């Protein structure tokens, strides 16, 4: 190839995306582009060049991934942000897009358009991004704002205060989204009194709109439900907003799909044939996990095909209140299993990209129920063992963990399980995801077997009946 036909490149270096708006820069780009057009219009010098056809082959999977991830890079210079962006703000936005778990991308498809719809929402996006950066740096979530997050949060408060008194804006989608962003901010901090105040304001605005059905833009509708769910879940209270239609469709397994065989499901329906609320959720979760490829070895493929079924499942569990129907034995069993399912799903939720997932209320409630109710589980005792196992690995409170570990030892002895592997066979026989829980039992095994060994050498055997339920 001679020098005249060799490709040439011209580079225009920019230090900031806003330089694309500069007239001199745009003029330079046009000149270079027109020069290339002029070159292309010149006749080729050889017959071969006149008849040459260039074919370019691209991997269709790679192309599809590129389309799916459009806008999912560190920063999109073409989006008109609702506030002036400095270097700190750009860094915080880049941090938002650094977390590309498939589930977080699905949710981001709703809350990101809401986040850039109003300056107040956007400032809370920046504040929340900074809180996540603090977590990465400190190893735990902050319980209060620092100077950076407080700066953006205060900006958001002032902007909402201006709009809330404007009758043309005080029930708009954009202002509803801004209030939802405050709820998310308080939830990340674990400040649920503040979250409740903002939820009250949101529900009042929805009432003035004439009801939730009048919020018709899907991204706003899902964002409102998410902000309601995250705080309700953390406190184990029913959500205030019914789940969106899209979530309803995702909450149950496809009716045409064959369900995996479950001995636990059959035992439940035999022992409690009139209590089908929890077991219907159990059956759906069993099926949905088997269909969700993110929990298999094909994680990349799963990231592009999995549905968002976790949120509606959590709403179904939060709306279940067996103990409101009384303290009969079947109500206690169903409530224990409801909490067990929440504690089983919470690490899966994190695995899918939902952060934070607060479960302190669930482990505390479970411990209170187990310590105050004596129940005969009969053939459903594997469900009790399964629930206590996931409570033990989920709790962050050392005193709670010690009690759950002791309960596991009591159950292991009462069920005549001689080896730790036998206990794990029972747990895995209920419901299990190896990818998420595969290494969860190492420390727990030592603690439980230490109790078993100590009792065997001094007393002979743990009592079959523990403090309440074994």
Residue-wise pLDDT tens digits, 397-437: 999 999 999 999 999 999 999 999 999 999 999 999 998 99
Share of the chain above pLDDT 70, in %: 73
pLDDT, mean of residues 280-286: 92
Instruction: Say yes or no: 318 and 200 in one domain.
Output: no
Instruction: Say yes or no: 361 and 436 in one domain.
Output: yes
Range from 4-8, 132-136, 291-295 carrying the lowest mean pLDDT: 4-8
Is 70 a member of any domain? no
- For the chain, the C-alpha Rg in angstroms (whole number) is 28
CA–CA distance, 54 with 295 (Å, rounded to integer): 42
Half-sphere exposure of 8 (CA within 13 A, CB side): 11
pLDDT exceeds cutoff 80 at 259: no
Which residue, among 346, 350, 362, 443, has the nearest Cα to 397 in the 3D structure? 362
Is 150 a member of any domain? yes
Instruction: Say yes or no: 347 and 233 in one domain.
Output: no
CA–CA distance, 380 with 253 (Å, rounded to integer): 24
User: Per-residue confidence at 5, pLDDT binned at 50, 70, 90?
Assistant: very low
User: Per-residue confidence at 317, pLDDT binned at 50, 70, 90?
Assistant: very high
Quote the tokens at residue 354: 């939902």
Contact present, 347 and 341 (Cβ < 8 Å): no
* pLDDT score for 167: 84
Is 4 a member of any domain? no
User: Per-residue confidence at 272, pLDDT binned at 50, 70, 90?
Assistant: very high
Instruction: Say yes or no: 238 and 282 in one domain.
Output: no
- Provide the residue range defining the domain that includes 100: 87-242
Which residue, among 207, 212, 209, 238, has the nearest Cα to 224 in the 3D structure? 212
Is 7 a member of any domain? no
The model's pTM is: 0.79
Is 325 a member of any domain? yes
Quote the tokens at residue 213: 């059905």
Cβ–Cβ contacts within 10 Å for residue 258, how many?
8
Cβ–Cβ contacts within 10 Å for residue 166, how many?
10
pLDDT, tens digit, 9 for 90 and up, residues 291-312: 776 666 554 444 333 457 889 9
Instruction: Say yes or no: 203 and 274 in one domain.
Output: no
pLDDT, tens digit, 9 for 90 and up, residues 172-206: 999 999 999 999 999 999 999 999 999 999 999 99
Give the burial class of 342: count Cβ atoms within 10 A of its Cβ; 0-12 exposed, 13-18 middle, 19 or more buried: buried
CA–CA distance, 270 with 268 (Å, rounded to integer): 5
- Total structural domains in the chain? 2
Helices (H), 171-241: 173-189, 192-209, 218-235
* pLDDT score for 165: 84
Site of tokens 């078993």:
452
Quote the tokens at residue 305: 């095909």
Q: Of the candidates 213, 242, 271, which is a domain's last residue? A: 242
Range from 30-44, 99-113, 334-348, 379-393 carrying the lowest mean pLDDT: 30-44
Instruction: Say yes or no: 279 and 418 in one domain.
Output: yes
pLDDT, mean of residues 346-350: 92
Instruction: Say yes or no: 220 and 302 in one domain.
Output: no
């Amino acid at each position: 190839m001679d020098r005249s036909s060799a490709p040439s490149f011209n580079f225009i270096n920019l230090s900031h995306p806003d330089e694309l708006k500069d007239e001199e820069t745009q003029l330079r780009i046009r000149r270079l582009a027109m020069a290339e057009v002029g070159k292309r219009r010149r006749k080729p010098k050889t017959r071969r060049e006149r008849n040459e056809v260039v074919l370019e082959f691209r991997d269709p999977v790679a192309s599809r991934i590129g389309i799916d991830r459009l806008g999912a890079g560190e920063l999109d210079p073409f989006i008109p942000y609702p506030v002036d962006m400095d270097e700190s703000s750009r860094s915080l936005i880049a941090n938002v897009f650094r977390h590309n778990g498939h589930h977080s991308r699905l949710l981001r498809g709703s809350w990101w358009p809401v986040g850039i719809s109003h300056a107040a929402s956007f400032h809370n996006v920046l504040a929340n991004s900074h809180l996540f950066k603090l977590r990465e740096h400190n190893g735990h979530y902050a319980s209060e704002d620092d100077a950076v997050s407080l700066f953006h949060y205060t900006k958001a408060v002032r902007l909402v205060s201006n709009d809330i008194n404007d009758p043309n804006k005080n029930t708009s989608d954009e202002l509803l989204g801004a209030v939802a962003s405050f709820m998310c901010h308080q939830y990340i901090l674990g400040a649920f009194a503040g979250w409740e105040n903002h939820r009250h304001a949101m529900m009042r605005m929805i009432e003035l709109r004439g009801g939730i059905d009048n919020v018709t833009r899907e991204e706003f509708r899902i964002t409102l439900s998410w902000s309601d769910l995250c705080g309700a879940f953390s406190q184990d209270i029913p959500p205030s907003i019914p789940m969106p239609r899209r979530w309803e469709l995702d909450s149950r397994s496809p009716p045409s799909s064959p369900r995996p065989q479950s001995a636990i499901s059959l035992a439940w329906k035999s022992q409690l044939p009139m209590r089908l609320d929890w077991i219907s959720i159990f059956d759906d979760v069993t099926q949905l996990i088997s269909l969700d490829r993110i929990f298999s070895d094909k994680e990349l493929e799963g990231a592009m095909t999995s549905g968002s079924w976790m949120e509606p499942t959590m709403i179904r569990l939060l709306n279940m209140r067996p103990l409101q129907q009384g303290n009969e034995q079947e109500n206690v069993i169903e409530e224990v299993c409801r909490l067990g399912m929440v504690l089983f799903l919470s690490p899966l939720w994190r695995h899918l990209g939902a952060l934070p997932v607060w479960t302190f209320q669930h482990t505390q409630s479970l411990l209170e129920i187990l310590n105050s109710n004596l129940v005969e589980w009969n053939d459903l005792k594997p469900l009790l063992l399964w629930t206590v196992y996931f409570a033990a690995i989920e709790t962050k409170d050392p005193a709670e963990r010690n009690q759950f570990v002791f309960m596991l030892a009591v159950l292991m002895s009462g069920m005549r399980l001689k080896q730790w592997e036998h206990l794990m066979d029972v747990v895995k026989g209920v419901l299990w995801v190896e990818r998420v829980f595969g290494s969860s039992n190492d420390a727990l095994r030592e603690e439980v077997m230490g109790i078993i060994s100590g009792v065997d050498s001094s007393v002979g055997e743990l009592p079959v009946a523990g403090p309440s339920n074994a």
